[in-house]
Structure 1
């Protein structure tokens, strides 16, 4: 009986975490560059149930397997490209990432599925490399984001919506300068920022620091659409190459890739599953109450 109580309780905890994850996704539907998070649940080790034989017949009969509970193991972000929203602001930028990758064994171009994953013949899961803007927090740590809603402060510094400094391709903070007009700020597809002088000639100011992450599944979410990397070499962080399918587009933003309809379905499913496990816990509670307070008095 207690095994069933623990199984139902573990189901409630897992569904609560699933509910919290979906709620977080829904609350960030309007956040530029936000990447949806999915909760992965695994079952506890299975137990083989057997019927013990009597002395006459001997032996045992296998009934089947019993799962003793479930737990939410981890939350995995989905780096699928979100839709583009035209804003017309010169300080808004979008990364359009379609980085390709070759199979290390066969050398053939990998065909990723719609979720950005590829499963090799030996079962290895490979994720599509993703591109991010490199930014610097207030402690001078390098972070990565897809939120390109930048602003320019009075000192001419290019900043994110949360106040982080935007880095260039060499890892330095981008300072446009006090005399640069935002209205004249332009960018090409490689993220090179420039303006025009009095004679109409282009003047290059900086190049946006767009980094490609070979193993995006190793990124650690910090909040506000920002990720960190503990080991850049293992994660495979590198500066964007000009010929690997990454484009920077000015005057637009990448909206959240959260599907609101599917999120509402997942939210209702988590609530119903939580209620079902809750009723099971209540049933076991009543059964234990009868066993202790009523049967014990007989």
Structure 2
């Protein structure tokens, strides 16, 4: 009996986390460059089928069985969001559609190679540096210039150039005078080259990125490479990339999580009533 109670309780916890994830996505629907997250639900954590040892005649220990539901991780969808023109020279948006030879990516940015290996579509990110000098990656391109002339993000991180140094504007030049060229160089409206070029990093497996908040990610493993001319990446000045949250689907998922939570709640109430009768009525008869 208690096994069912524990299963329902794990369902409550999992649906609560799923609900929190969806509401966070909805709250950030107007955040430039925001990438939505999802909370996958998993069961049979002992991986019963994979441990049955079908290629062996020897018995294999499977371990304890559980019917609980787990929501132990959050996955981020790194797909392209809609791009809107703002006519603000401080705004920059990345449009990325990097191809990989021999692979056709689906709408989720995933493809399966010839050997059955799952491959994710590479993505492009602005490269920034935080106050501790650590590299971070973001698609939030709403930049500004601080009092020292450095190009910074909305949270104060330094935007890096192709020399891996923070971009600092030439004396007497404002960002309103700068024009971004097709090869991501910053030139003045008079056509003078400032020697500045935005560093756009290619992340071959975006699922190695770890979310840190404020639209920033850090790379958990390996290093990022600078975008080259062969990559299908464009940076537009005077545009912003909206979040890639689908408000219609998010609303449906939110309602589904609520209904699943209520169903598990009723199961817990049922077991509570049953245990109460067991303790108070059956025990008294004995």
Give the structure-1-normalised TM-score.
Answer: 0.86
Q: Distance in 1 between matches of 2:39 and 2:182?
A: 35
Q: Does 1:297 align with 2:284?
A: yes
Name the structure 1 match of 2:52. none
- What whole-Å deviation, never above 9, does each CA across 1:77-100 have from its counterpart, x for those lacking one? 111100011111112111111111
Are positions 1:203 and 2:193 aligned together? yes
Does 2:117 align with 1:117? no
CA RMSD of aligned residues (A): 1.7
Unmatched runs of 5 consecutive residues or more in structure 1: 49-65, 103-108
* Within-5 A mapping of 1:133-282: 133-196=126-189, 200-233=190-223, 237-282=224-269
Which protein is bigger by CA-based radius of gyration? 1
Q: Does the aligned pair in 2 maintain the 1:195–1:205 contact within 8 Å?
A: no
**Contact 2:127–2:136 (CA under 8 A) maintained in structure 1:** yes
In the alignment, which residue of structure 2 is the partner of 1:14? 14
Cα contact 1:25–1:258 (8 A) shared by 2:
yes
Q: Distance in 2 between matches of 1:167 and 1:202?
A: 20
Is the CA contact 1:135–1:166 (under 8 Å) kept in the aligned structure 2? yes
Please give the alpha-carbon distance, in whole angstroms, between the structure 1 residues aligned to 2:276 and 2:284: 12
**In structure 2, what is the Cα distance between the partners aligned to 1:184 and 1:80?**
32
CA displacement at 1:218 relative to structure 2:
0.6
Q: By how many angstroms is 1:176 displaced?
A: 0.5
Higher strand share: 1
Structure 1 counterpart SS, 2:211: strand
CA distance in 1, matches of 2:150, 2:267: 58
Aligned to 2:40: 40
- Secondary structure of 2:71's counterpart equals strand
Partners of 1:111 and 1:35 lie apart in 2 by 22
Distance across 1 between alignment mates of 2:139 and 2:123:
10
| 1:68-124 Cα distance to aligned partner (Å, 9 max, x none) | 12111321111110001111111211111111113xxxxxx2100011111235442
Unaligned runs of 5+ in 2: 50-64
TM-score of the superposed pair, with normalisation by structure 2: 0.90
- Counterpart in the other structure of 2:93: 94
Q: Are 1:157 and 1:177, in contact at CA under 8 Å, matched by a contact in 2?
A: no
Matched residue count = 269
Give the alignment of 1:278-289 within 5 angstroms: 278-289=265-276
1:62 corresponds in structure 2 to none
